[in-house]
């Protein structure tokens, strides 16, 4: 079959001569160069290219964990072909549970860095790319576990990706705290990188136990696991930025307070979108994951509008531990010249504690940027409902 073409010699977006395939290392380098103006943040281009190569080798991305997908012409050799659109996919270990509490290890893919070069825009290539990607990922690496869906974080609002099946998550909001230049409270201790493996394993065990409890919502639940691989990917980005800007990397990867079984902890990352000396700098300490042991409102399907008051359902020591950890984060942000601390979608109990404390904060609804969107693979009968994604927190962002 001959390709349909437009007058300028580019293939039509519905041409059978187009295919979705994996990029070569050389094509990855070209894509990173082309996208650097959009995503290099505070880094010079050369350092950004080093960062991208390094991030392709961390555990989350290594051994096929991250794939660079490209839309190209079938009959043009690799490294010679035009790249009409590109994106990355990340293999994310996840859990799904049914209403009876039967837990299944599954795969959810994270989609990132969707990019169409300027010369190829408004021709339908991005739409073709996303449609092909949805079909390809359905069975990608399914010999390892069942693929139940994919998520992406839209910076162009809620409507575009919804046309191809990635519907906006039911909620996209976060709490924002100011940095506070005060001494860190002694009851909260720093978490260093060597601490994270044990903390993440403990967190996963609690999540599995919570999801094994039967629910009465009538919905299957799915969560992306906040494992060490996710944390190290974020830390990898942090390391490149802080080494370039300050000549050193932060020691603290989070904070923890309280006694075992009643602890609160946060794991965070420092993100520099601009040099901190720039007047328009809007840099962030993102809390990747916040946990309070014994928080019964965690790892569950709970509505913001219908949640009950959880204040007082945990000992006062846990409330104090949580506040100490949050204040530690604010002090860390001030120390590292970050403009905000952001915490995505804390549990109802945590919301209640923060609301009744004296910690200054505001609620931000995300309508245009970092909008979590999800596509779920359900059977073709139309009788299977899509699962509900819980723990929409920043660790899963990519």
Residue whose C-alpha is closest to residue 388's, from 224, 226, 223, 227:
223
pLDDT, one tens digit per residue, over 324-382 is 999 999 999 999 999 999 999 999 999 999 999 989 999 999 999 999 999 999 876 66
Residue 71, pLDDT above cutoff 80: yes
Q: What is the distance between the terminal CA atoms of the chain, rounded to a whole angstrom?
A: 38
User: 339-367: b or e for each residue (b if 16 or more CB lie within 10 Å)?
Assistant: bbbbbbbbbbbbbbbbeebebebeeeebe
4 or 135: whose pLDDT is higher? 135
Give Cα separations from 287 to 34, 177, 180 (angstroms): 30, 11, 16
**Which of left, alpha, beta for 314 (phi over 0: left; psi -120 to 50: alpha)?**
beta
Three-state DSSP at 212 gives: coil
pLDDT, one tens digit per residue, over 237-292 is 999 999 999 999 999 999 999 999 999 999 999 999 999 999 999 999 999 999 99
Q: How far apart are CA 149 and CA 256, in angstroms?
A: 33
The confidence score (pLDDT) of residue 248 equals: 98
Q: How far apart are CA 189 and CA 206, in angstroms?
A: 22
Structure tokens at 64: 């096929």
Residues 6+ apart with CB under 8 A from 366: 172, 173, 174
The residues facing 269 across adjacent strands are 286
Q: Taking residues 209-224, what's their average pLDDT?
A: 91
Q: How far apart are CA 29 and CA 14, in angstroms?
A: 27
Structure tokens at 3: 């390709």
Count helices and strands in the chain by DSSP H and E runs: 8, 16
CB neighbours of residue 223 within 10 Å: 24
pLDDT, one tens digit per residue, over 219-249 is 899 999 999 999 999 999 999 999 999 999 9
Structure tokens at 134: 């949805």
């Amino acid at each position: 079959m001959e390709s349909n073409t437009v007058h300028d010699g580019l293939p039509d977006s519905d041409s059978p001569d187009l295919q979705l395939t994996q990029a070569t290392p050389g094509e990855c380098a070209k894509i990173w160069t082309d996208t650097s103006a959009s995503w290099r943040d505070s880094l010079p281009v050369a350092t950004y290219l080093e960062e991208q190569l390094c991030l392709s080798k961390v555990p989350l991305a290594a051994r096929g964990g991250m794939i660079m997908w490209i839309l190209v012409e079938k009959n043009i050799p690799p490294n010679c072909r035009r790249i009409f659109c590109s994106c990355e996919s990340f293999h994310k270990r996840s859990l799904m549970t049914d209403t009876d509490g039967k837990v299944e290890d599954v795969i959810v893919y994270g989609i990132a860095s969707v990019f169409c070069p300027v010369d190829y825009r408004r021709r339908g290539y991005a739409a073709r790319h996303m449609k092909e990607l949805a079909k390809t990922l359905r069975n990608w690496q399914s010999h390892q576990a069942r693929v139940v869906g994919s998520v992406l974080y839209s910076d162009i609002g809620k409507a575009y990706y919804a046309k191809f099946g990635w519907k906006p998550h039911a909620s996209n909001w976060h709490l924002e705290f100011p940095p506070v230049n005060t001494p860190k409270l002694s009851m909260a201790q720093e978490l260093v990188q060597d601490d994270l493996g044990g903390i993440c394993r403990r967190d996963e065990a609690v999540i599995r136990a919570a999801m094994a409890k039967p629910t009465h919502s009538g919905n299957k639940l799915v969560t992306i696991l906040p494992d060490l691989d996710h944390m190290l990917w974020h830390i990898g980005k942090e390391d490149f930025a802080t080494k370039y800007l300050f000549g050193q990397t932060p020691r603290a990867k989070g904070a923890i307070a309280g006694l075992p079984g009643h602890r609160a902890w946060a794991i965070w990352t420092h993100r520099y979108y601009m040099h901190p000396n720039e007047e328009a700098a809007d840099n962030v300490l993102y809390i990747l994951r916040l946990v309070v042991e014994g928080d019964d409102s965690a790892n569950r399907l709970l509505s913001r509008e219908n949640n009950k008051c959880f204040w007082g359902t945990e000992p006062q020591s846990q409330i104090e531990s949580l506040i100490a950890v949050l204040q530690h984060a604010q002090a860390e942000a001030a120390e590292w010249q970050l403009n905000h601390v952001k915490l995505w979608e804390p549990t109802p109990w945590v919301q209640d504690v923060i609301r009744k404390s004296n910690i200054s904060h505001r609620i931000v609804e995300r309508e245009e940027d970092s909008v979590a969107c999800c596509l779920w693979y359900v059977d073709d009968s139309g009788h299977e409902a899509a699962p509900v994604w819980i723990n929409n927190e920043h660790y899963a962002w990519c």
